[in-house]
Amino acid sequence: MKTTGLSLIFLFLLVGCTTPLPKIHSDGHLIAGDFHISSEISFQWRQRTTFLHIPPGLNSSDSHPLVIVLHGAFSTGEKTALETGFNDLADQEHFLVAYPEGIGLFGWLQHWNAGHCCGKAADDKIDDIGFVMSVVDKLSRELPVDPSRIYLAGMSNGGMLAYRILAEQPERFAAAAVVAGAISSRLPDVPEQKLPNTFQGTPLVIFHGDADQHIPPAGGTSPLGRGERSYSSLKDATEFWQRANGCSGENDERTLREGGLRQVRVSCRQDLEIWQLADWGHQWPGQHFTMRLSTDNPLYGFNATAEIWQFFRRHVQPTGIQR
């Protein structure tokens, strides 16, 4: 039987271009480094990639925490690793960190379907929740991941997807963090698509800059004139997760760094923290950016990544038990 060029292409897609996960050293340690893991979502026939960082010195006979980090729109896993500093922190604290990639075009313009947003991923109804969960499952099968210490973080469009994952599958993660995200948005003449109500909840820490002009903390459209999409507010997100996490409404509020930070800890069945950053825009509030501020700026040297990890490490999920 003659094989056509089209058939060869189909066969190539069928078997996929899977980069195997790193092997184990003869001394029993995982091979450290950065890896681009390709995998295929068989029900959507799309080649998807995950950027994986394995810190040095991880013993394969021990189980280790896993942090899943979702990049913002038009970003990448590698860029997000650089801007968040999660890889450096993983080396210090000995956890695995993986950055799934949204869909894009030839490695550019990656973005996510968060339900209400954004772009082609939302228009084509890409199953990004299914993809992220498949990454978690694959890494958990093939690496020594502690199932009680799997965490989720997302920035901007990635934060929107993180919110959606927590609403639909709250039992999958021990804790989560969202930076500069929104729980919903809408375009003119299009019904608002909201997150499904959940009352199981997940421990969650939220960061948002007061000067964010892409996703304004007060909600509404971007003052930068980038389209007509109107976003829900930080207040909307706070109230949604207060209901989901079983909060009593009693707040412990603190002002830190000479007014540069306002931290609110809400009394809840599942922990909820909100950090508001004065005069901070649409960037990850980590030292990749804060070390560029003037030394008299209250946010100089602030590291949200370290704060997120401190929040994560306080939360361990009983395996096999849904909250």
Model confidence at 307: pLDDT above 90: yes
Q: 12-313: CATH homologous superfamily? A: Alpha/Beta hydrolase fold, catalytic domain (3.40.50.1820)
Residues 129, 165: contact at Cβ < 8 Å? Answer: yes
Look-up: residue for tokens 């409404």? 249
User: Over the stretch 239-273, which tens digit does the pLDDT of each residue have?
Assistant: 999 999 999 978 999 999 999 999 999 999 999 99
Q: What is the pLDDT of residues 231-240, one digit of tens each?
A: 999 999 999 9
Residue 170 confidence (pLDDT) above 50: yes
Domain coordinates in residue numbering, the chain: 12-313
Q: Which residues partner with 97 through β-bridges? A: 53, 67
15 Cβ neighbours under 8 A, 6+ residues apart: none
pLDDT at residue 41 in the model: 53
pLDDT digits (tens, 9 = 90+) for 106-122: 768 899 999 999 989 99
Which of 43-57, 61-75, 168-182 is predicted with the least confidence, judged by mean pLDDT?
Answer: 43-57
- Average pLDDT of the chain, as a whole number: 89
Q: How far apart are the first and last CA of the chain?
A: 56
pLDDT band at 53 (very low <50, low <70, confident <90, very high): very high
* pLDDT-based confidence at residue 20 (cuts at 50, 70, 90): low
Q: What is the pLDDT of residue 87?
A: 99
d(CA 128, CA 105): 16
pLDDT tens-digit readout, 41-51: 544 667 889 99
Are 275 and 307 in contact, with CB atoms under 8 Å apart?
A: yes
Q: What pTM value is reported for the model?
A: 0.91
Whether the pLDDT of residue 172 is over 50: the answer is yes
For 320, residues 6+ apart whose C-beta sits below 8 A from its C-beta are: none
Continuous H helices in 24-85: 77-84
- Strand 64-70 vs strand 46-54: parallel, antiparallel, or unpaired? unpaired
- What are the tens digits of pLDDT across the range 132-155? 999 999 999 999 999 999 999 999
* DSSP E strand boundaries for 95-170: 96-100, 103-105, 108-111, 145-155
**Element of type H or E holding 137:** helix 128-142
Q: With cut-offs at 50, 70 and 90, classify the pLDDT of residue 199.
A: confident
Using H for helix, E for strand and C for coil, what is the string for 201-230? CCCEEEEEECCCCCCCCCCEECCCCCCCCE
9 pLDDT more than 50: no
